[in-house]
């Protein structure tokens, strides 16, 4: 019998169906491993996420503003004019093969979160990956 060795982390990614949407702002609030991310689209939709690692790629036109909230927390706003979302996705880490059951539960809760346009709470800390690009007129 061969033993399964699982000593690495793997991120299970799921897309946020906002590709092509006009971007207004991404705000990170908190510090260290305790932060929240708010994605605001130009059409008024807002998505609050408990955030783990956050990666933002911008091709052009992005402004970053950072401010201290208190002794240990920061508020960082990313915003710009004429930006659209090229790709947005969220992910959860799995550490062991038996964590794979979390994948289905995460997918179901993410679907409910997305169907509510972010009004329902997503009870997961997620990694967040966002790629922005300038609109052709931007």
Does any domain span residue 19? yes
* Pairwise CA distance, residues 82 & 45, whole Å: 17
Residue 5 resides in a domain: no
Q: For the chain, what is the domain count?
A: 1
96 falls in which pLDDT band (50, 70, 90)? low
Residue 117 belongs to some domain of the structure: yes
105 inside domain? yes
| pLDDT one-digit tens code per residue, 5-56 | 444 567 889 999 999 999 999 999 988 777 899 999 999 999 999 988 888 8
Q: Which domain holds residue 33?
A: 10-133
Q: Is the pLDDT of residue 124 over 80?
A: yes
User: d(Cα 67, Cα 8) in Å, to the nearest integer?
Assistant: 35
Question: Is 1 part of a structural domain of the chain?
Answer: no
Residue 26 buriedness (CB in 10 A; 0-12 / 13-18 / 19+):
buried
Question: What is the model's pTM?
Answer: 0.81
Model pLDDT, residue 48: 92
């Amino acid at each position: 019998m061969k033993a399964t060795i699982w000593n690495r982390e793997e991120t299970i990614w799921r897309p946020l169906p906002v590709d092509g949407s006009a971007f207004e702002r991404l705000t990170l609030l908190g510090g260290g491993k305790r932060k929240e991310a708010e994605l605001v689209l130009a059409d008024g939709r807002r998505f609050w996420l408990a955030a783990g690692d956050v990666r933002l790629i911008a091709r052009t036109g992005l402004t970053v503003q950072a401010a201290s909230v208190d002794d240990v927390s920061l508020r960082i706003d990313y915003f710009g004019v004429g930006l659209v979302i090229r790709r947005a996705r969220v992910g959860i880490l799995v550490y062991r093969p038996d964590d794979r059951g979390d994948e289905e539960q995460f997918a179901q809760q993410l679907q409910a979160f997305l169907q509510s346009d972010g009004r329902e709470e997503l009870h997961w800390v997620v990694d967040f990956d966002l790629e922005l690009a300038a609109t052709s007129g931007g």
